[in-house]
Amino acid sequence: RPDDELDFYPIIANFGTAEQEFHIGMGSIAVPGVVAGIFEAHRALGRMPIADIMAPAIRLARDGVLVDAFHHYILRILRPIMVATKGSFSLYESPGRPGRLIREGERLRNPQAASALEVLAAEGPDLFYRGDWAERLVRDNRDHGGQLTLDDLAEYRVERRDPVVFRYRGVRCAINPPPSPGGCLVAFALGVMNDWPSERDRWGSRGHALNLLRGMRAASVARHEYNMEDGLDLDTKAVLLSEETLADWRRGLELHSLFSRGTTHISVADAEGNIASLTASNGEGCSYVLPGTGIMLNNMLGEEDLNPGGFNRWKAGTRLASMMSPAIAELPDGTRFALGSGGSNRIRSAITQVLVNLLDFGMTLGEAVAAPRIHLEGERLSIEPGFPEEALEALCSAAPESHVWPDQNLFFGGVHTVSIRHGGIFDGAGDPRRGGVVAYAH
């Protein structure tokens, strides 16, 4: 569809101390895959009826949840999207103050979504990809500046792929494979960092801080040097993660030459010893709500991070190369971790740092998740408060541009993780940056 016919326009998300531009509108919707993916995972691996699995979400949508301070903050950040259309505003309108967005302490209900999920549980994914919902979605795309067709939806397929397996500090790790580059970039960053003698340094030391920065810089440069803008193929992955390549990058990344001057994650462990890591994203939402369902569609074609070559230049029939990187790690004693994060380009840096905290410093899950983080984007280094002065001075001296945030922030991702040890001993940590929680179910 010609650019001048698209419903596609920018908004600014204001994090308080940083801003990020996103594009929304019907023209930003990519073919959703999460519905097909969840049903396929259930078909292949699940035992509980899908209706039972969806029942808690249906109940919460119908009965409502209280908006807490964190979710009120999210709504403030995404306000331009929430008020962009009548459909999106109706989802988040205050029940007690008509014409205004819902606020902290009020109850958010979505009865249309509750009813829609009940129908979806009964009819299955064809409702979304070939049935009534598909026809509604395509009709609105045709009439209001979107790009999706019935063929786009009907031809969507779930791909099952083997994970990328690598070792860090002798620990076997598995992470999301190509074509998405995020998992390989986490493995690459850790591979570059693997020669650092962590046993000699404490967390927050100069060596620890600069090694983190070295790994992040390597991943950032490699993403462009290996042309990952349109994804990553298996041959490039093999070269990227080879010991020869990692050794070359370690030698070439001396500290003095480092610079030339709306995502959800769930980690689950069960009594049978299974462990799972699932990351799903709707982006920030495009502001279009599928009529009668209470479901807002994604804006994946409007995220600059996912379209580094420019908007509306993607190839039809290809998958967007996201940074989502669900991961699993297994220690020699059999302890296993599942972890993952939301946070756009910050996903890979968040997961890298939590793995370093767990595997280099032996932190508990709660400590590893709560520890302050850094993120490198181009030559700008963002730093959370809480690093010792030694680390802070080293980081600010090494980066051409640095910014210390006043508080921990969802900008730095939200890593949610669980573990299971021998004997069925469970632990978990939800990231407070993104309202993460730990729950035990019987």
Out of 263, 279, 352, 417, the active site residue is 263
Does the annotation mark 263 as catalytic?
yes
Question: Do residues 107 and 66 lie in contact, with contact meaning Cβ atoms separated by under 8 Å?
Answer: yes
**Catalytic residue annotation:** 263
